[in-house]
Amino acid sequence: MKPSAFMFEPIGIIHSSLKELEDVPMQGDEGAPEAWLELTPMAAPGLMGIEAGDELLLLTWLHLAQRDVLQVHPRGDINRPLTGVFATRSPDRPNPVGLHHVSVLEVTGGNLRVAPLEAIDGTPIVDIKPVLSSSEQ
Query: Longest C-alpha distance within the chain, in Å?
Result: 48
CA proximity to 112, closest of 96, 100, 95: 100
Considering the complex, state which of residue 21 and residue 29 has its C-beta at the smaller distance from a copy of itself: 29
Cβ 20 to a copy of itself shortest distance, Å:
20
From the centroid of its chain, how far is CA 66? Answer: 16
Q: How far is the CB of 23 from a copy of itself (least distance, A)?
A: 19
φ/ψ (deg, to 5) at 8: -140, 155
The distance of Cα 2 from the centroid of its chain, to the nearest Å, equals 28
Contact residues for a copy of itself (CB under 8 A)? 1, 3-13, 27-29, 38, 40, 42-43, 45-50, 54, 56-57, 59, 61, 63, 70-71, 81-89, 93-95, 97, 99-101, 124, 126-130, 132, 134-137
Rounded least distance, CB 27 to a copy of itself, Å: 6
